[in-house]
Amino acid sequence: MSMGLVVIVGPPGSGKTTVGRALAEALGAAFRDADADIVATAGKPIADIFVDDGEEHFRALEREAVRRAVAEHDGVLALGGGAVLAADTRKLLADVPVVHLRVDLAEAVRRNEIDKGRPLLQVNPRATLRRLLEERLPLYREVADIEVDTTGRDVADLTAEIAAKLGVRTVVVGDAEAPYPVLIGRGTVERLPEFLGKAARVAVLHTESTALLAERVGSLLPEGVEATLMELPDAEDGKTVAVAEQCWDALGAEGFTRTDLVVGVGGGAVTDLAGFVAACWLRGVAVVHVPTSLLGAVDAAVGGKTGVNTAAGKNLVGAFHPPRAVLVDLDNFATLPRRDLAAGLAEVVKAGFIADPVILDLVERDPEAALDAADPVVAELVERAIAVKAEVVASDLKEGGLRAILNYGHTFAHAIEKLEKYRWRHGDAVAVGMVYAAHLNALTGRVDLVDRTKAVLESLGLPVAYEAGRWDDLLQAMLIDKKNTGATQRFVLLDALAAPVVVDDVTAEQQREAYERLVG
């Protein structure tokens, strides 16, 4: 079976070859060493290439060897310590899982004394190694998805850690100023201790449905870090100012300071509320999200929008407050009711219509698989939907422009939620909202995706119609949509599949006609 490529980088003496070989064996994969390829091509040892032809020539051979190995190899590939100096090589590694092996100076010196013959370490090895470690650390970190400190560690132990972490993919979200990782995989919740910062207290916000996991989160905290579990009312009942105020009271009673941490463990309602509580407490403390619903994982917990519902409407009170990290643990979906899984798929399908039609192909090919949390296609759908969101959020953190496309279907959806007093699942409302938007696309002379939209949503058991006779109330609710500017309504529509536009010229007649076509 093909496992794909895993690349190992690190300074001289970090154990790239030893750990790389052991990892390949553990994964049942082939091992390849880019330095060995260079030696084979040049027909002489690396030390001789340096002496005879110079470092520049060696680097050129290295770039080519790495390029070829990355293109060809299926398994574990170890690179020479200086390979990351080349910008081309770093670019090449952007889409490949890369493991960075760290080592401290003293141990690197010891290991290099045993393994003599490295051309750059012949003279003054300690000072040279110190310089190499310092200079190259940012470059290793730039390419790495996983970092492991090898100092004083046993090879078998290291290999097991890397193999476990490789099951996890990291997507970086946020803009260049404040990037944060979204870890996607199985068992990612165990990684929480990496994101505690200086917290001495952690407030774990959850609902009854996620109480066991919240306890598990509490038990992951190291000694000296205290957990306070706060159980919220379920679903939208927990997304209120009153509930937020109770949380703030509890934080005050516990003496939460600016270095402490809020963790949201639950569906989108919990992570929206937890983010909002964190955004306002002391004008902003860190929050880590552990989304437990599919919708939370692909959307609510990612992107930094937080908020509550009020009588005025859905999510009208809130703040942009990006999390410190998001731990998407695919195992958490095992207990999620099928109807909630389907609701989450509505936002996944939205990502398909606005940006990644492969999502639609995957769902259409086998809707039952998409509804089975254990099926590998769910992991792929989660990754693809998060990738769509990450790309949009990176270029427009606070919805100054492009980010509005994530709101496809939401104008009508939020109106339904308000009319239904937040008793509808958000994903169900988004499904109907996308059918409404599809009618508007067709009515405004854009693209006709009505049948495809209805078919894919119906195949997941999602609603595609709304009751008749509610137009005046729906319009009233849509008039206070956040995307509107003054009295001008703005809608996200599609010029074509995966070609979203934000428009402000949809007429009152077109809006009403789309509703008439939608009613069941």
Ligand X SMILES: NC(=O)c1ccc[n+]([C@@H]2O[C@H](COP(=O)([O-])OP(=O)(O)OC[C@H]3O[C@@H](n4cnc5c(N)ncnc54)[C@H](O)[C@@H]3O)[C@@H](O)[C@H]2O)c1
Q: Which position among 235, 278, 328, 440 is part of the footprint of ligand X (CB under 6 A)?
A: 235
Minimum CB distance to ligand LNCXM5UN, residue 221 (Å) = 29
C-beta separation of 389 from 291 below 8 A: no
3-state secondary structure of 317: strand
Q: Which position among 80, 82, 125, 267 is part of the footprint of ligand X (CB under 6 A)?
A: 267
Which amino acid type is present at position 382? V
C-beta separation of 178 from 322 below 8 A: yes
Residue 271 known to bind ligand: yes
Q: Kindly report the three-state secondary structure assignment for every residue of 325-347.
A: EEEEEHHHHHHCCHHHHHHHHHH
Q: Which position among 305, 321, 324, 425 is part of the footprint of ligand LNCXM5UN (CB under 6 A)?
A: 305
Name the token pair of 10: 């690190």
Residue 207 known to bind ligand: no
Q: Between residue 286 and residue 315, which ones bind ligand X under the rule CB under 6 A?
A: 292-293, 295-296, 299-300, 303, 305, 315
- If one asks whether residue 299 binds ligand LNCXM5UN (CB under 6 A), the answer comes out as yes
Minimum CB distance to ligand X, residue 4 (Å) = 29
Residue 517 known to bind ligand: no
Which amino acid type is present at position 183? L
268/155 Cα distance (integer angstroms): 40
C-beta separation of 90 from 138 below 8 A: no
Minimum CB distance to ligand X, residue 472 (Å) = 24
Q: Between residue 100 and residue 139, which ones bind ligand LNCXM5UN under the rule CB under 6 A?
A: none
Q: Between residue 4 and residue 63, which ones bind ligand LNCXM5UN under the rule CB under 6 A?
A: none
Minimum CB distance to ligand LNCXM5UN, residue 162 (Å) = 33
Q: Spell out a b/e string for 395-405, using b for 16 or more CB atoms within 10 Å of the CB, else e.
A: eebebeeebbb
- If one asks whether residue 500 binds ligand X (CB under 6 A), the answer comes out as no
Q: Which position among 332, 407, 459, 489 is part of the footprint of ligand X (CB under 6 A)?
A: 332
Q: Between residue 343 and residue 382, which ones bind ligand X under the rule CB under 6 A?
A: 343-344
Q: Which region, judged by CB under 6 A, interacts with ligand LNCXM5UN, from 50-58, 74-82, 403-411, 495-503?
A: 403-411
| Residue 403 touches which of ligand LNCXM5UN, ligand X, none (Cβ within 5-8 Å per kind) | ligand LNCXM5UN
| Residue 482 touches which of ligand LNCXM5UN, ligand X, none (Cβ within 5-8 Å per kind) | ligand LNCXM5UN
> Given phi > 0 = left and psi -120 to 50 = alpha, else beta, which region is 137?
alpha
493/437 Cα distance (integer angstroms): 6
Continuous H helices in 211-310: 211-219, 241-254, 268-280, 294-295
How far lies 321's CA from each of 170, 194, 197, 449, 482, in Å? Answer: 20, 20, 17, 35, 17
Q: How many residues of this chain bind ligand X (CB under 6 A)?
A: 31
Q: Which region, judged by CB under 6 A, interacts with ligand X, from 56-64, 202-210, 359-367, 392-400?
A: 202-210
Catalytic site positions: 283, 305, 347, 389, 399, 403, 407, 410, 414, 426
C-beta separation of 91 from 64 below 8 A: no
Minimum CB distance to ligand X, residue 124 (Å) = 54
Residue 420 known to bind ligand: no
Number of other residues whose CB lies within 10 A of the CB of residue 512:
14
Task: Return the residue nearest ligand LNCXM5UN (CB atom).
Answer: 315
Continuous H helices in 96-240: 105-114, 125-143, 155-166, 211-219
C-beta separation of 379 from 330 below 8 A: yes
Q: Which position among 426, 439, 454, 490 is part of the footprint of ligand X (CB under 6 A)?
A: 426
Q: Which position among 67, 452, 482, 512 is part of the footprint of ligand LNCXM5UN (CB under 6 A)?
A: 482
- The sheet that has 325-329: what strands, in order across it? 169-173, 180-185, 325-329, 286-291, 261-266, 201-206, 226-231
- If one asks whether residue 418 binds ligand LNCXM5UN (CB under 6 A), the answer comes out as no
How far lies 391's CA from each of 94, 256, 362, 397, 406, in Å? Answer: 15, 34, 20, 10, 11
Rule CB under 6 A: which residues touch ligand LNCXM5UN?
299, 303, 305, 315, 347, 399, 403, 406-407, 410, 482
Q: Which residues contact ligand X by CB under 6 A?
A: 207, 209-210, 234-236, 239, 266-270, 272, 292-293, 295-296, 299-300, 303, 305, 315, 332, 335-336, 340, 343-344, 425-427
Binding annotation for NAD(+)? 234-239, 268-272, 292-293, 305, 314
